[in-house]
Amino acid sequence: MPGFYRRPKLDTAISQGDVFDGVPLIGVTIDLLRAIPDGAGFRAERIEPDKLSDEMILFEQVGLTRAIVISQSCDAERAPQLMLAPVTPFELNEKTVDKKWKKISQAATSLSETKYVYLPGNPHLGLARSRANFGEAFTVPRSLLEELARRGKRIGGLGEKAVAYFQFRLAVMLTRVAQDDYAWPSGEDIGIKIAYLQEEIKDRTKKAEKLTIRIQNASAEIQDELAAEYQELKDELGMLDRQIKVAEAARPHADELAEESSV
C-alpha cells in the first residue's frame, strides 16, 4: 500500500502537505516596541497598537518551528504568501500498550478535536509522532519556503492519499456548524441528560454534607481552605440546578417538527 509520506526532491515545487523545519514564527504581542534609527543602530520605543502605521519597523520575537503547508498546491506555486500549520510532538505517556494504541487511534481517526490532525512518525524522514495545529495557522512568504527547500529544510511531504485526508480534516475544521445545546437532542435524550444531572446533584450533595462535618471538626488552620472547597461545591450545585431547569423547559419542544420551507 502507498506510504503516508513522500520525499520531495530539492527542485520539486512546494506542495500542500510539505513539512519544513526551521520556519520562522513571529510572535506579535500587545507590548509593541518600535525600532527608532539611532546612529548606526536602533533604539526601542514603546508604541500603542492604535499608533501603528504602514512600513513601521518593530522589534518582535521570532521562534523557529516545524510546520506543514496548508495552502493548496496550485497556490503554493505562485501565491506570494503561503499558509502553514505548526507541527508539534504528539505526547504518548500512557503506561500500557492498549492505552497507547487507543490514544493514537483516537488522534488519527476521531473528529472530536477538529483543529488537530495526527501525523505518524517515519524513521526514513526522521519524523516522530506529531500533530499539526490548524488553530494556530500562520503565513510566510513563498520565497522564504523556496529558500528553505533549497537549503534542505523540507524534510518530507504527505503522500497522495494522506493529502486527501489532510484536506478533509481542514474542511471539517473550517465548516463546523455551531449548535445550541438543545437544537439536536430528542425529548428522550434530554430526559437522559436530566437524569444524569440529577445524579450529579446527588453526588455533590453527599460531598457537601461530608465536607460540612469536616469543617466542624477541622482546626482553624484549614477551615478557610475547606470553606472555599464547600463554596465551590455549592456553586456547582447551583449551576447543575439551573441546567436542569433549562433542560426541563426545552424537553416539551424537542420533538416538534420544523415548518416546511416556502422556498
Query: Considering the domain boundaries, does residue 262 fall inside one?
Result: no
Q: How far is CA 87 from the centre of its chain?
A: 12
Chain mean pLDDT for the chain: 89
Query: Considering the domain boundaries, does residue 126 fall inside one?
Result: yes
The secondary structure of residue 80, as a DSSP letter, is: S
Are the C-beta atoms of 24 and 140 separated by less than 8 Å? yes
pLDDT digits (tens, 9 = 90+) for 147-193: 999 999 999 999 999 999 999 999 998 887 777 888 889 999 999 99
The DSSP secondary structure of 44-62, one letter per residue, reads: EEE--GGG--TT--EE-EE
Q: State if pTM tops 0.75.
A: no
Cα 96 from Cα 258, distance rounded (Å): 49
Q: Which domain holds residue 29?
A: 5-174
Within the chain, residue ranges assigned H as helices are 73-76, 97-109, 142-150, 160-174, 187-217, 220-250
How many domains does the chain fold into? Answer: 2
What CATH number is attached to the domain comprising 201? 1.20.58
Q: What is the pLDDT of residue 2?
A: 62
Query: Considering the domain boundaries, does residue 263 fall inside one?
Result: no
Averaged pLDDT, 17-22: 95
pLDDT digits (tens, 9 = 90+) for 32-55: 777 777 778 777 778 777 777 777
Question: Looking at the structure, do residues 146 and 220 belong to the same domain, yes or no?
Answer: no
Grid cell 523540507 is found at 154
> Among 121, 152, 174, where does a domain finish?
174
Query: Considering the domain boundaries, does residue 15 fall inside one?
Result: yes
pLDDT digits (tens, 9 = 90+) for 197-248: 999 999 999 999 999 999 998 888 888 889 999 999 999 999 999 999 999 9
Four-CA torsion 51, 56, 60, 63, nearest 10 degrees: 130
Is the pLDDT score of 1 beyond 60? no
Q: Which amino acid is at 95?
A: K
Query: Considering the domain boundaries, does residue 50 fall inside one?
Result: yes
Q: What is the pLDDT of residue 223?
A: 87
Query: Considering the domain boundaries, does residue 207 fall inside one?
Result: yes
Q: Which amino acid is at 129?
A: R
What CATH number is attached to the domain comprising 87? 2.30.30.110
